[in-house]
A and B are shown apart, each in its own frame.
Chain A
């Protein structure tokens, strides 16, 4: 196989991986604050992308405004879900909350189908169709756009978590809730904020990926890839989520080139399980020392 093909495949793998990474980041943001796994994260992505699409169709908005609408819809949705449902189950176990998010996922998917449509829809893209040629290598602008957009968003998140008061408060809650509360941080506000932030990250990922995968009520299934990516990286670690996502995307795109088509869906999973066997807490995770 030529190097040019390989480069092309790796780049589209990185594009897929960026989306997985953003999904993983969204899951990790909520998990770090509230220790819950949000099974509905993918369906929140889907609903907010649909909201942007509906606004775009109704008022012929420019794309950047469409994205803002999607983000706003995501923030509102997350705020409502957190305040009305999750906050009320604050005393429940993590398993109970997991089932609540499973229920939410079903409801959101069904509601989106009823309000909008269950059929696939085309979604406008920021980027053109004409491939960018670099010597022998041809790259799809949309792949580069997804990678660039995702990296920009990740940098923003990095800045938020390291250089702002809010970000520091979120990290403090992730490390030690009681300690954070004693330092005067409103843990409840951080809960809400984490849901809103995670949903916003998901919405941007949704708007970036929808032109490639089409907009459909089934796109929420990406939560499983995001979960896989986050686990590979070490659940709770943000650099890990990014690395895990990229790795998953590239492996998934490379596997069909070298392997018979029959096993191509299994192989990424087998590789990932193999990684976990060598590093049981993921690439960037640390094994928690239990104290008695």
Chain B
């Protein structure tokens, strides 16, 4: 049953560009990008209980890293660019995670919030490199001499990368690191008593989360094709938090659903102009009132049947 559902989902994702209009292909790519960020954030928040309000900052680092690599070294294949972007972001995440180890709860959220602001300002000020507020146009990525210049090509790139990262996140719990994350999620004290080093795994969670978000940033750069610092403001970080709580903390399918719902809502509500935040806010409140714990928990009874 489950295998059939996954197969159908995979076929749907593959067939999408052939059945949907061009704009919806772009929208689907955006959902994939946001899903990767949500999964990355959920690895951090859902497992090690560190809520970050600065993931727009990590996304920006990944996006600018990928864009600058493509501009200055066009020969590098797209996949390598994405990996490098992710790796750079992961290094920043680790460097940020270590001093934040002492901070818990709201204090950590505050530090991540600050991180987001600082990243935006650094981008604005390194204008020799990033063109500051003017924004940066991202050239099409190349893979084996073939430029990814259509929405469909970029969509398939995003879909392939997302599939790999989703598989990684789902199977993480089969590894030693993943089991340590689970133990920390269930009880930090019990995990420590069982010999799980809280400091090491909290830092690792920051690194992994930043890597996912950095790769998503690279995808974002290619999908959108234009970067400017004000696209990565604190409200984007809040949106990511909304995605994972709406979807369900600590759940990979929940992250994907949350990302899809928030992205589609933002797009769909654009038609309502001034009423948009009003409706979006009302939907958020209704969701949390009637589905406490997020969509993943609300849908769990269906999965058991």
Contacts and interface: CB of A to CB of B under 8 A. Distances in A.
A266 B118 contact: yes
Interface stretch (A55-63, A96-104, A133-141, A205-213): A96-104
Interface centre among A37, A263, A276 (most CB of B within 10 A): A276
Given A103-B288, A107-B281, A290-B189, A96 B114 contact: no
Interface string A107-145: 111110110001000000000000000000000000000
Interface in B111-157: 111, 113-114, 117-118, 121-122, 124-125
A269 B282 contact: no
Nearest to B278: A110
- Name the residue among A114, A265, A273, A281 with the largest chain B CB count within 10 angstroms: A273
Nearest to A271: B114
Given A92-B288, A96-B288, A110-B274, A103 B107 contact: no
B178 interface: no
Contacts of A37: 106
B281 A114 contact: no
A89 interface: yes
Interface string A228-251: 100100010000000000000000
A276 B113 contact: no
B281 A277 contact: no
Contacts of B125: 262-263
B275 A103 contact: no
A100 B274 contact: no
B278 A106 contact: yes
Interface stretch (B8-16, B31-39, B69-77, B242-250): B242-250
A102 B262 CA distance: 13
B292 interface: yes
Contacts of B281: 102-108, 110
Contacts of B102: 277, 280
Contact of A93 (B122, B289, B292): B292
A113 B118 CA distance: 30
Contacts of B288: 89, 92, 96-97, 99-100, 103
B276 interface: yes
B246 to A, nearest CB: 7
B114 A269 contact: yes
A227 interface: yes
B24 interface: no
A12 to B, nearest CB: 22
Contacts of A265: 117, 121
Query: For B103, B106, B242, which residue has the most chain A Cβ atoms within 10 angstroms?
Result: B106
B282 A92 contact: no
Given A93-B293, A276-B103, A104 B118 contact: no
Nearest to A106: B281
Contacts of B299: none
B189 A292 contact: yes
Nearest to B190: A292
Given A110-B278, A227-B110, A100 B284 contact: yes
A100 B288 CA distance: 6
B7 interface: no
Specify which of A107, A263, A282 lies most central, judged by the most chain B CB atoms within 10 Å of its CB: A107
A98 B53 CA distance: 12
Given A272-B114, A280-B102, A110 B275 contact: yes
Contacts, number: 123
Contacts of A262: 121, 124-125
A273 B285 contact: no
B51 interface: yes
B168 interface: no
Nearest to A292: B189
Contacts of B225: none
A85 interface: yes
A224 interface: yes
A91 interface: yes
Contacts of A282: 107
A258 interface: no
A263 B289 CA distance: 42
A109 B277 contact: yes
A1 interface: no
B108 to A, nearest CB: 9
B99 interface: yes
B238 interface: yes
A85 B284 contact: no
A88 interface: yes
A110 B99 CA distance: 38
Interface of B: 51, 99, 102-104, 106-107, 110-111, 113-114, 117-118, 121-122, 124-125, 189, 234, 238, 241-242, 245-246, 249, 274-278, 280-285, 287-289, 292-294
19 contacts: A37-B106, A88-B289, A92-B289, A95-B51, A96-B292, A103-B288, A110-B277, A110-B278, A114-B274, A118-B274, A228-B110, A231-B107, A231-B110, A265-B117, A266-B118, A272-B110, A276-B107, A280-B104, A282-B107
Interface of A: 37, 85, 88-89, 91-93, 95-100, 102-111, 113-114, 118, 224, 227-228, 231, 235, 262-263, 265-266, 269-270, 272-273, 276-277, 280-282, 290, 292
Given A96-B293, A269-B118, A276-B110, 8 more contacts: A93-B292, A98-B245, A103-B282, A106-B277, A107-B277, A265-B117, A266-B122, A277-B102
